[in-house]
Structure 1
Amino acid sequence: MSVAASAGSEYGARQLSVLEGLDAVRKRPGMYIGSTDSRGLMHCLWEIIDNSVDEALAGHGDDIGIRLHPDGSVEVSDSGRGIPVDTEPKTGLTGVEVVMTKLHAGGKFGGGSYAAVGGLHGVGASVVNALSSRLDVEVTRGGKVHRMSFRRGTPGTFDDSSGTPSPDNTFTPFEGAGVLEVVGKAKRGVTGTRTRYWADPQIFLKDAQFAYEDLVNRARQTAFLVPGLRITIDDDRGVARDEAGEPILHRREEFRFEGGISEFVDHLAHDEAVTDTWRLRGEATFTETVPVLDDHGHMVSRDVEREVGVDIALRWGKGYDTKVRSFVNIIATPKGGTHLTGFEQSLLKTLRKVIDANARRLKLGKDRIEKDDVLAGLTAVVTVRLAEPQFEGQTKEVLGTAAVRQIVARTVESELLTVLESAKKSDKLQVNQLLEKIVAEMKSRISARTHKENQRRKTALESSSLPAKLYDCRNTDVGNSELFIVEGDSAMGTAKAARDSEHQALFPIRGKILNVQKASVADMLANAECSALIQVIGAGAGRSFDLDAARYGKVIIMTDADVDGAHIRTLLLTLFFRYMRPLVEAGRVFAAVPPLHRVEIVTGRGKPNEIVYTYSEQELHTLLKKLQKSKKQYKEPIQRYKGLGEMDADQLAETTMDPSMRSLRRVTMADAERAEEVFGLLMGSDVAPRKEFIVAGAAVLDADRIDA
């Protein structure tokens, strides 16, 4: 008999494993929480928080507290009704023990306790309990405070005589049903649940940690979605550091918003608005066949009518980034689902219909609007509420209820058409701006596609489509090529003589280019300087920008070292930030650093004088003090460069263009959203915040730094 046959003959009923209760969760935690790293750890916390939020959604309680303890445990408390403490007749266990130890047990299976909730499978609290080395739950209900503890899902008692609760304290499991201990009294009408647990190190990775920023963002998001709910976060871990490097022993955040998802959209959107925030609402019903419990406790199939509430807030801005957040019963669905599919399909269909009706005025031509054109600059929050939605998996990242797609699509079409066809003057103006933006995005996409048809870098001699004023380089290797954007014709003349034409290309701009933070996409494309610069770089613009198609390895902004030069550099950076952002993110945009002063040190004894360049007033003063100390002479007056054109070719090459001697300042974007806020403040059309910024900074500005 072969080895394989021998092994196969041993496969019988005794080789089968039956995992009972919470053992299945501990054996395959990824099935329930996705992973055992920080993401899975945070998912457990979401499960407990969402149970409290469901209570608030049902109209019970408006206060949730979250506390991160120094010992690694986390505590969630609410002012809801409290977990039932009476005995469940089928199991003979208290409601607390049923919820905490039995999979697929809870009040969210159509029993009338909840309508639209996020917790649906009845496994959230029990899964967290199974994956915790210790879990304590306190329920305030009926004028009493009830308490029960668990170790890896098993109810029992911990010896906390030391005064410090810990999963390492001696644990004694209950024999038979658990005992729900009464540990105190409560005022009449006071109810709630407090859950504190320690994640099991046997399950989770050593480096798994609670992400404070993710927790803050989720709490803020939930407060937007449930108006009037107060959520407080306290972090006592001391893991954060202040500016001096000292640990921050306590951090606290509190969120409460009376508004709804319109305020959420305003919070998410950072670019200048093209439209107001529009609200699309609707309700509809559908019928589905679901198994339900009859009066005898048996599962039977019945047709159930479901009601779906759709609430969408959206606005378009002048940028091209898309921010769409979707939710089902306040639970985020980051991977979308049927509700998001219906939203995007109907959005495209409706706007195509309106744009086609205005094709002649918009100069649409034969081209067709695509989804990316419509989504450019869109910020939206899509929410639906329904009882017992179908999700794909316990992590609830994708909504699967098929009927929701058509309901959302019909709501978007009817409500959006009402706005787009409104006779109000203010609405008409916004709609026209929106339609022009979408058509401009389409034209930009088509133009970018045309530019990228030939990915190989071409020189100006090979391509007649490049601007005539571009002085290209001979090298066809993108990695070794540089494009200098030069301010003014006078500097251009010097730069031509100073450059290495083998790998350095020059492109002059005249004066200050268009401020694209204020301008629309159509205005930007119509501007000669902006469109020519996009054409020279050759990688397109906006969401269709292709970094691999860029014709140069480095793009260097070379402007005068004065106020006008700084303004021009800011305008160029605004263009790169808004329409060629991947180039900035890749670290391929630089600012040249020309010197401010030229100091000629007298050496004497027939030797040529020594030339030293300084790049700031402080550096100049330091140099002069050093020369005075060493009793060296220098020629007066010291030359102060007001512009690049004042240098001769050798000086410009030595200080600013020669790779072996120059200094470049790399433009980085570590925090894109913060950078966008700054660009909006300094370059946007909203004057009031900029005025406040200038007034606030005037008192601390050194007047001597103003280059008049």
Structure 2
Amino acid sequence: MSAQPAARRRTVTEGDYTARHLSVLEGLEAVRKRPGMYIGSTDSRGLMHCLWEIIDNAVDEALAGVCHRIEVTLHADGSVEVHDDGRGIPVDIEPRTGLSGVEVVFTKLHAGGKFGGSSYTATGGLHGVGASVVNALSSRLDVHVERGGKVHSMSFRRGEPGTFKDGTAQPSPDAAFEPFVSRSELHVGRGKRGVTGTRIRYWSDPQVFLSEAEFTYDDLVTRARQTSYLVPGLALVIRDERRLPGTPGADGPHEEVFHHDGGITEYVEFLAHDTSVTDVWRLHGTGRFHETVPVLDERGHMTATEVERECEVDIALRWGIGYDTHVRSFVNIIATPKGGTHLAGFETALIKTFRKQIESNARRLKAGNDKVDKDDVLAGLTAVVTVRLAEPQFEGQTKEVLGTNAVRGIVSRVVEKELTELLTSTKRGAKQQSALLLEKVVAEMKTRISARLHKETQRRKNALETSSLPSKLADCRTTDLERSELFIVEGDSALGTAKLARSSDFQALLPIRGKILNVQKASVADMLKNAECASIIQVVGAGSGRSFDLEARRYGRIVLMTDADVDGAHIRTLLLTLFFRYMRPLVDEGRVYAAVPPLHRVEIVNPGSKKNEVVYTYSETELRTLLKQLEKKGKRYKEPIQRYKGLGEMDADQLAETTMDPRHRTLRRVTVPDAERAERVFELLMGSDVAPRKDFLVEGAADLDRERIDA
């Protein structure tokens, strides 16, 4: 077989790739070809981003002080409408293009009123592409502008201006469409005198977005709520007319209004759920910096010019007794979930300030030579960090990361100065709070170091087969984690019986003496000093607080076994509070249980030589029901009926049969709602706030059943 000619074997050479192979996408065509570049994706996330672009344009009017109400409506036909009472988009002719302001905004990329700085000072919209991108990705967009007593309207189909022939029917993207041929024009109608604003309604294009993409009501409400906090006085109305199953509007139109005058202080109070260590502190400040930016001159040319910028910093923060961190950052009301230079400056200043203060008070705080790190300071912190500046530099159109480098230093200086003043204040309230806060941060540092030492101890134990566990722990033999159980037992007397009743193969026992520390009010340091709390954490073996590692636990189940009386219930609540606050993943995963010991033992007398039958009941109601049944059947029972006041009154066989043997026992799984309810009740009954407890006792006094008092 002869070889093929060289011309046929040739694939692609340089001569095949020329300028004619290049594609030039202009205007909105580029947006439709590569939507991900502008909105991130074409799923629900991208669909919501389009809505944010329109809402943020309205919010920019509120930031300028000319808009007080924004209404967002999710229509049943899949469209969405945004209406604001701002100044309205300019409708006069833009001299360079010869087009109306409305058409320029919705059809030209990088066109808007936020470049020169004369119309807006601090805005969320920066790149001039938001409205035009939404228009390009919509099968239909209608805009109505109220200005000067008139209503100016224009419609677009996939970015092209024209007229839809709706007739008497409801507006629809499927209606006949006639594009403008010679020149586009605004339709002008009569409006109300003195009323201004912009109403935009659009239908997302099914050719671009995935079929399962939809507007998420919960995300919309979350965004509206946070915006109402960031722009005090602005009212945002969210209305859902879609009747989607599983949404608040499933049974009919649903409307929510968000309006807050307290600003970010109120936002921090909304975000924080734990008991506070400090009040909400506000840190204010400004800074100036210079940057070189291209500026449009009078001839329409872009000239590199050095301009002076002002950055306004406003931060609200408070610390609570918990260890979770909630920090939200914003630039000109735009959320930056991935942070940026403003958040970096905030965290740097926090660490620097706390290290200085702890070093200055090292002896009082017993801090030693160890240094706090970022996690120690952020534990229990709820903060809202906002900065406002003209033309911030974001990374991409989605604006998730702030890139303006000068902001880092400005935020850092403001936070360091303001926070130092608060921590060194001589005012009585602030001085007490700052002392508690410094103690908390030092305690977090000690907890972190203790957790590290504990892990090292565990490694040594595994390597050398030694144990540093408490001597009072009666451990089990199994190596099967899921099968193993840890019973936390009330008192040494019950421990003796429980040792005989348990299956030592997979059931471990840890006794506690009486009522453990009230960790609801105690600090982390006090909790770690408490012998009972420390023993429980050590035996569970997974650490505590933010260092808790569920995979490192030593037992598959934790069972709280306390007496079936008021004190037992109190101890169980104290234990649940400890697990909920410091070992929360165990509760979340359903690994914590409460044993259910019986209250009564009824011995039924059988005739003849037949052995007597024993029945256990777990409540007064169950006992009365049993006795009525026995009376009806003519059966006798031994008197008096045994009433168990504690686990120690049972013998080993009884305890095993009723409470510990998996074949017969009843366990109650503790779920998160139960733990939260217990924590609220415990805070009410045993917390430091006396007035609510007094009200509770007075209100409930009439409902007290005196017969149930165990005296």
Coarse TM-score class (shorter-chain normalised): over 0.9
Structure 1 position 233 matched with structure 2 position 238: yes
Greater shift in the superposed pair: 75-84 or 473-482: 473-482
Q: Check whether the contact 2:573–2:678 (CA below 8 A) recurs between aligned residues.
A: no
Structure 1 gaps of 5+ residues are none
Q: Check whether the contact 1:276–1:315 (CA below 8 A) recurs between aligned residues.
A: yes
Aligned equivalents of 1:580, 1:629: Cα separation in 2: 50
1:41 Cα offset (Å): 2.0
Aligned equivalents of 1:370, 1:397: Cα separation in 2: 26
- Per-residue CA deviations over 1:478-532 (Å, capped at 9, x if unaligned) read 3332111111223222211111111111111122111111111111112121112
Judged with a 3 Å threshold, the aligned counterparts in structure 2 of structure 1 residues 615 and 160 are, in CA distance, closer, same or farther, namely: farther
1:101 maps to which residue? Answer: 107
Aligned equivalents of 1:632, 1:134: Cα separation in 2: 82
Greater shift in the superposed pair: 322-331 or 14-23: 14-23
Q: Check whether the contact 2:577–2:678 (CA below 8 A) recurs between aligned residues.
A: no
Aligned equivalents of 2:409, 2:26: Cα separation in 1: 41
2:566 maps to which residue? Answer: 563
Structure with bigger gyration radius: 2
Aligned equivalents of 2:696, 2:153: Cα separation in 1: 54
Structural mapping, 1:676-691, within 5 Å: 684-689=687-692
Correspondence for 2:155 among 123, 130, 149: 149
Structure 1 position 445 matched with structure 2 position 448: yes
1:507 maps to which residue? Answer: 510
1:114 Cα offset (Å): 0.4
- Per-residue CA deviations over 1:365-415 (Å, capped at 9, x if unaligned) read 121111111111111111111000001111111100000000111111111
2:268 maps to which residue? Answer: 265
1:132 maps to which residue? Answer: 138
Aligned equivalents of 1:14, 1:597: Cα separation in 2: 93
Aligned equivalents of 1:41, 1:682: Cα separation in 2: 48
Greater shift in the superposed pair: 199-208 or 276-285: 199-208
Judged with a 3 Å threshold, the aligned counterparts in structure 2 of structure 1 residues 94 and 624 are, in CA distance, closer, same or farther, namely: farther
1:202 maps to which residue? Answer: 207
Greater shift in the superposed pair: 600-609 or 249-258: 600-609
Q: Letter of the 2:289 partner, please give it.
A: F
Q: Letter of the 1:345 partner, please give it.
A: T
SS of 2:282's equivalent? Answer: strand
SS of 1:642's equivalent? Answer: coil
- Per-residue CA deviations over 1:259-301 (Å, capped at 9, x if unaligned) read 2222222222222222222211111110001111111111111
1:224 maps to which residue? Answer: 229
Structural mapping, 1:318-357, within 5 Å: 318-357=321-360
Correspondence for 2:672 among 658, 669, 676: 669
SS of 1:61's equivalent? Answer: coil
2:575 maps to which residue? Answer: 572
Greater shift in the superposed pair: 462-471 or 105-114: 462-471
- Per-residue CA deviations over 1:127-154 (Å, capped at 9, x if unaligned) read 2222222222111111011222222222
1:550 maps to which residue? Answer: 553
Greater shift in the superposed pair: 203-212 or 606-615: 606-615
Q: Letter of the 1:194 partner, please give it.
A: R
User: What is the count of residue pairs matched by the alignment?
Assistant: 704
Judged with a 3 Å threshold, the aligned counterparts in structure 2 of structure 1 residues 65 and 654 are, in CA distance, closer, same or farther, namely: same
Structural mapping, 1:263-342, within 5 Å: 263-342=266-345
Q: Check whether the contact 1:270–1:676 (CA below 8 A) recurs between aligned residues.
A: no
Structure 1 position 474 matched with structure 2 position 474: no
Judged with a 3 Å threshold, the aligned counterparts in structure 2 of structure 1 residues 141 and 2 are, in CA distance, closer, same or farther, namely: same
Aligned equivalents of 2:630, 2:438: Cα separation in 1: 65
2:22 maps to which residue? Answer: 16
Q: Letter of the 1:203 partner, please give it.
A: V
1:457 Cα offset (Å): 10
1:614 Cα offset (Å): 4.0
1:229 Cα offset (Å): 0.9
1:255 maps to which residue? Answer: 258
Structure 1 position 174 matched with structure 2 position 162: no
SS of 1:372's equivalent? Answer: helix
- Per-residue CA deviations over 1:32-86 (Å, capped at 9, x if unaligned) read 2222222222222211111111000001021111222222222211110011111
2:586 maps to which residue? Answer: 583
Q: Check whether the contact 1:517–1:574 (CA below 8 A) recurs between aligned residues.
A: yes
Aligned equivalents of 2:61, 2:335: Cα separation in 1: 17
Correspondence for 2:428 among 425, 430, 433: 425
2:197 maps to which residue? Answer: 192
Judged with a 3 Å threshold, the aligned counterparts in structure 2 of structure 1 residues 471 and 672 are, in CA distance, closer, same or farther, namely: closer
Q: Check whether the contact 1:272–1:680 (CA below 8 A) recurs between aligned residues.
A: no
Judged with a 3 Å threshold, the aligned counterparts in structure 2 of structure 1 residues 495 and 84 are, in CA distance, closer, same or farther, namely: same
Q: Check whether the contact 1:159–1:169 (CA below 8 A) recurs between aligned residues.
A: yes
Greater shift in the superposed pair: 615-624 or 311-320: 615-624
Greater shift in the superposed pair: 374-383 or 611-620: 611-620
Q: Letter of the 1:210 partner, please give it.
A: F
Correspondence for 1:536 among 539, 544, 554: 539
Q: Letter of the 1:504 partner, please give it.
A: Q
1:173 Cα offset (Å): 2.5
Q: Check whether the contact 1:60–1:81 (CA below 8 A) recurs between aligned residues.
A: yes
1:236 Cα offset (Å): 2.2
1:339 Cα offset (Å): 0.5
Judged with a 3 Å threshold, the aligned counterparts in structure 2 of structure 1 residues 671 and 468 are, in CA distance, closer, same or farther, namely: closer
Judged with a 3 Å threshold, the aligned counterparts in structure 2 of structure 1 residues 239 and 670 are, in CA distance, closer, same or farther, namely: farther
TM-score, scaled to structure 1:
0.92
SS of 1:380's equivalent? Answer: strand
Aligned equivalents of 1:473, 1:448: Cα separation in 2: 24
SS of 2:267's equivalent? Answer: helix
SS of 1:5's equivalent? Answer: coil
1:483 maps to which residue? Answer: 486
Q: Check whether the contact 2:461–2:467 (CA below 8 A) recurs between aligned residues.
A: no
Q: Letter of the 1:308 partner, please give it.
A: C
1:171 Cα offset (Å): 2.7
Greater shift in the superposed pair: 685-694 or 652-661: 685-694
Q: Check whether the contact 2:484–2:506 (CA below 8 A) recurs between aligned residues.
A: yes
Q: Check whether the contact 1:271–1:680 (CA below 8 A) recurs between aligned residues.
A: no
Q: Letter of the 1:46 partner, please give it.
A: W
Q: Letter of the 2:138 partner, please give it.
A: S
Q: Check whether the contact 2:242–2:249 (CA below 8 A) recurs between aligned residues.
A: no
Judged with a 3 Å threshold, the aligned counterparts in structure 2 of structure 1 residues 425 and 3 are, in CA distance, closer, same or farther, namely: farther
1:641 Cα offset (Å): 3.4
SS of 1:480's equivalent? Answer: coil
Aligned equivalents of 1:550, 1:365: Cα separation in 2: 30
Q: Check whether the contact 2:143–2:153 (CA below 8 A) recurs between aligned residues.
A: yes
1:63 maps to which residue? Answer: 69
Compute the RMSD of aligned alpha carbons.
2.9
Judged with a 3 Å threshold, the aligned counterparts in structure 2 of structure 1 residues 232 and 457 are, in CA distance, closer, same or farther, namely: farther
Q: Check whether the contact 1:561–1:643 (CA below 8 A) recurs between aligned residues.
A: yes
Structural mapping, 1:576-615, within 5 Å: 576-601=579-604, 604=607, 606-615=609-618
Q: Check whether the contact 2:104–2:111 (CA below 8 A) recurs between aligned residues.
A: yes
